[in-house]
Structure 1
């Protein structure tokens, strides 16, 4: 029952979010990087490419918000992931950048996307779910 409820929540983060596909995938891949979730990384690197994230940017996700490939909003999205994972909250300086470009629903979707994929990464690593042969890992 709980898994069904979680996957309904996760489906929102993946399919009906107000974020662009590109924004969503940047968030998810940063969570995968920070949580060393090879499974999430392998599944989403292809989706990120389909959403317009190029290979230099994919490499930049591992380097974080300071990588030169990011515009201010995307750097703030990456910082938001780092702050949520480390501290459980987005810092005021990051929030100001996000709120200047995103409405309240988008901001909620940032937080919920990070939370959903953080939880998914915990589950996949705890159950030692392995990536499929031939997939790209972190």
Structure 2
């Protein structure tokens, strides 16, 4: 799905931000040295949008009603399906902290892999929203047996938000930090097929 670019990044991350932008960046996630992540330094080219993006993204990561493990399983599926290595890499780390094992993380990239019924329906939901911009009645009914309406709304918006983020990351050519993991060994992202 992602195109090859003649040069990446297409939009250079902000290097020496104005004080107002520096203050916003100071509130974002950073690497081990405290440097704001490349996604935020790139989005800082549009500070007003970055501010709103961070509110919704921060909600999902810290204030959402979905359990963290389930959220990260869905985000990883979106990243893989979108061919977004940057999003994948960041959420491998977040997913580990949320309780996903390395084996589960790698399995996200294997269509038809065996999952528990609870995990399978989450992955199917992500796939349906990505493929059809909708959920089948069967998938909705399975999810509704487990999640509240609030969580169902959050799940659907989660898929859309991270698909949007993947499009931003891929199209602008944001480069992942060097110390981040890549795709699972031997598996090409679906976007590259």
**TM class by shorter-chain length?**
over 0.9
Secondary structure of 2:109's counterpart equals: helix
User: Is 2:128 the partner of 1:83?
Assistant: yes
Matches within 5 A, 1:18-29: 18-29=65-76
- Aligned mates of 1:36, 1:11 — CA distance in 2: 23
Contact 1:29 1:61 in 2 (8 A): yes
- Aligned mates of 1:108, 1:77 — CA distance in 2: 13
Q: How many residues align?
A: 136
Secondary structure of 1:129's counterpart equals: coil
Structure 1 segments of 4+ aligned residues over 2 angstroms from their partners: none
User: Is 2:129 the partner of 1:72?
Assistant: no
Structure 1 residue 6: Cα displacement: 2.2
Q: Which residue of 1 aligns with 2:26?
A: none
Structure 1 residue aligned with 2:169, among 102, 124, 129? 124
- Aligned mates of 1:117, 1:20 — CA distance in 2: 17
- Aligned mates of 1:15, 1:117 — CA distance in 2: 15
Q: Which residue of 1 aligns with 2:144?
A: 99
1:10-46 C-alpha deviation (Å, 9 max, x unpaired): 2112211101110110011000000011101110101
Structure of greater Rg: 2
- Aligned mates of 1:12, 1:118 — CA distance in 2: 16
TM-score, with length taken from structure 2 = 0.68
Alignment RMSD (CA, Å): 1.1
Contact 1:31 1:114 in 2 (8 A): yes
Secondary structure of 1:63's counterpart equals: coil
User: Is 2:155 the partner of 1:110?
Assistant: yes
Where structure 1 has 5 or more consecutive residues not aligned to the other structure, the ranges are none
Structure 1 residue 9: Cα displacement: 1.3
